[in-house]
Amino acid sequence: MGSSKSNSFYFQDKLRELRKEDLYRELRTVEDISDSGKGNSVPNVINFSSNDYLGLSKNAFLVKKLRNLITSRISQCSSRLISGNTESLENVEIALSEHRKTTSSLLFPTGFMANLGVLGCISDKETIIFSDELNHASIIDGCKISTSKIHPFPHNDMIDLEKNIKKHDNKRKIIITEGIFSMDGDMADLTEIVRISNENNCLLIVDDSHGDFIIGNNKPKDYGGTPSYFGVNKAVDIHISSLSKGLGCFGGYVSCSKLVREYLVNKSRPFIFTSALPDYLAEIAIMSMQLAKMGDLQTMLYRNIEYFYKIANELEIKSRKVEKSPIIPLLIGSEKRALEVSRKLLRQHFFVQAIRYPTVKRNEARLRISLNADHSQEQIYDLLNHIVKLLKV
């Protein structure tokens, strides 16, 4: 039997509310927003909403390698602790530990699950988690399942963070922040966060899904993400990241001490009770890391970022500049208006997603522009010129 009438009303009412508030979401296929030219889609759409910052997901060498890798099975069809573990999964964990300068790493099927998997088991009722108010939904949900007390702190407000941490001297304390923030594109003040964490005996977790392989230390170039950019890798107790962004691959991971890894393997439910990441993805991730570490793609990306700000400045488009961050939010405010501008841009062959509540606060809707290494300057120029016209209307 299908759902009862009262259940149908429940769902219909909730959906109606979302529509009324301009918060209704719809799925689009990749074909709709890419170069397909089929059906009802707009042909030749340029995607400015992808996290494939280095363009590695479409790298011809990697795609060919992947075809050769899938020879005898599609999935291990088991969790890692049963019969899903393979050498390639362990090899990528070794490579990720070197990359993050930790002693070990643990893969999760996605970055979202890595956050749930860590936060769900590393604390108890006696712990307080201090979480930046702009942290990603997976961090917020991880906090919710943790049973700990959660103290959200105003975005990057180090004075508030320190003041409140000091009030809880006798408690176990965890600080969690993103590295490059996913919806704002700015960076956590990791120098200050590390100082506060060290002085107050906290455990520090940094989710650097958007900075990983994009930024890092220049001497030598390591693209080790935000902790590396600030030179604080060793002070971060647990690094969390995604393989589905800078690396253009798929999966999530945690880099940490051997002890924490051992604990996660024993206690982290999103690790224990789910199927292992297909091992060919791990092999592709290693190759992708090698390509990312060469640095050419980042050079192209940084050039695009600089060019974007130059043109935005000439056109007097307001945007806060964050050097080397591929995420550029253009704040619109009203959800309705953000949707309207995004829809009009799509008609002009540019896909820029309107980001609305609950991803960001109410009335802080925005166009979130993601720059990739393979965008051309002409595409960036055209996008900004269309945006400036639409914003004036």
Sign of the CA dihedral with 295 first, then 253, 354, and 135 last:
negative
| Nearer residue to ligand PLP within complex by CB, 249 or 301 | 249
| Nearer residue to ligand PLP within complex by CB, 97 or 110 | 110
| Nearer residue to ligand PLP within complex by CB, 368 or 386 | 368
**Using CA atoms, how far apart are residues 82 and 324, in angstroms rounded to an integer?**
42
Minimum gap (Å) between residue 182 Cβ and ligand PLP: 3
**Using CA atoms, how far apart are residues 319 and 342, in angstroms rounded to an integer?**
17
Minimum gap (Å) between residue 229 Cβ and ligand PLP: 16
| Nearer residue to ligand PLP within complex by CB, 193 or 312 | 193
Site for ligand PLP in 245-264 (CB under 6 A): 252
Burial of 335 (0-12, 13-18, 19+ CB in 10 A): buried
Contacts of 230 (CB under 8 A, 6+ apart): 190, 191, 194
3-state SS class at 111: helix
Contacts of 104 (CB under 8 A, 6+ apart): 93, 97, 255, 256, 257, 258, 260, 261
59: contact with ligand PLP by CB under 6 A: no
- Residues 244 and 110 sit within 8 Å (Cβ to Cβ): yes
| Nearer residue to ligand PLP within complex by CB, 127 or 182 | 182
- Residues 264 and 118 sit within 8 Å (Cβ to Cβ): yes
Query: Which residue in 113, 108, 151, 100 sits closest to 129, CA to CA?
Result: 151
- Residues 217 and 228 sit within 8 Å (Cβ to Cβ): yes
52: contact with ligand PLP by CB under 6 A: no
Determine the residue type at 299: T
Beta bridge partners of 107: 253
DSSP code for 221: B
- Contact pattern from residue 89 through residue 128 relative to ligand PLP, giving x for each residue in contact according to CB under 6 A and a dash for the rest: ---------------------xxx--x-------------
Binds ligand PLP (CB under 6 A): choice among 178, 186, 222, 335? 178
| Nearer residue to ligand PLP within complex by CB, 112 or 280 | 112
| Nearer residue to ligand PLP within complex by CB, 136 or 375 | 136
- By Cβ distance, which residue is nearest to ligand PLP? 111
- Contact pattern from residue 195 through residue 214 relative to ligand PLP, giving x for each residue in contact according to CB under 6 A and a dash for the rest: ------------x-xx----
136: contact with ligand PLP by CB under 6 A: yes
- Contact pattern from residue 225 through residue 244 relative to ligand PLP, giving x for each residue in contact according to CB under 6 A and a dash for the rest: -----------------x-x
Query: How many residues line the site for ligand PLP (CB under 6 A)?
Result: 14
- Point out which residues bind ligand PLP (CB under 6 A): 110-112, 115, 136, 138, 178, 182, 207, 209-210, 242, 244, 252
